[in-house]
Amino acid sequence: MVVKCMIFKNDHLNDLPTYQELNMLCPKGGKVIYGGGKRKSQSVPYLKKLHSLENSCSSLEKFINKNDSFLSSCEVYLFEDKAALSFILMKYTRGFIGSFMLDDLVIDKLHHINWSLGHLTRDILAYQSELSHLDFYKEKNISDKQLERCFPAYINSVTKFSNKLEIRKKALIDEAVVIFNSGWV
């Protein structure tokens, strides 16, 4: 069964469509399977991975849009194969994040990107914190001249490595954007 996925931003600025509203916009064979208030049932495809998909999409939206607000999340909608994206986007353009064809590989890829970005972000912040800690050594007279001569080389190497992590982080975000914008073919 071909499943199409659409993601909307869920916050106080955007009214999310209900599944009844979306069903009226979709042609026969393109109904909403999940999302917009429709409950999970055993017939929902990828039921065991649905939580991972929702969590990954919500986290990746925050990475993509540099949104740290805990008040916003994403609403994931799953559609049957004959759903038409153009009809939905005519009415619901606000809060639209992306649409893509869904399968196990896409869910696993989004989960891995989200997991990797979390680790990269934590490491980058740890290295930045480490560099700022060197000022503490100077300020409190903990270091001596011999130790302070090592600081520039250390700062340079940590900065280079941190920059490489930033480049990888940007590449992963770009990969997520490609998936979110792949659309329904």
pLDDT tens across 51-97, in order?
A: 999 999 999 998 998 877 666 788 899 998 888 888 888 888 888 89
Count of alpha carbons within 13 angstroms of residue 153, beta-carbon side: 5
- CA 71 vs. chain centroid, Å, equals 15
- CA 172 vs. chain centroid, Å, equals 10
Q: What is the pLDDT of residue 37?
A: 77
- CA 39 vs. chain centroid, Å, equals 23
Q: What is the pLDDT of residue 70?
A: 67
The gap between the terminal CA atoms of the chain, to the nearest Å, is 15
Secondary structure class of 61 (helix, strand, coil): helix
- pTM for the complete prediction? 0.87
Rounded to the nearest integer, the mean pLDDT of the chain is 88
Q: What separation in angstroms does the CA of 22 have from each of 27, 85, 131?
A: 10, 10, 51
> How deeply is 17 buried, as exposed, middle or buried, from its count of CB atoms within 10 A (0-12, 13-18, 19+)?
buried
**CA pair distance 87, 117, nearest whole angstrom:** 34
**CA pair distance 182, 140, nearest whole angstrom:** 54
Least confident of 49-58, 81-90, 122-131, 169-178: 81-90
pLDDT tens digits, one per residue of 140-160: 888 788 888 888 899 999 999
Q: Which of 68, 179, 58 is nearest to 50 (CA)?
A: 58
Task: Answer yes or no: is pLDDT of 116 > 90.
Answer: yes
Task: Answer yes or no: is pLDDT of 121 > 80.
Answer: yes
Q: Looking at residues 108-131, what average pLDDT do you find?
A: 95
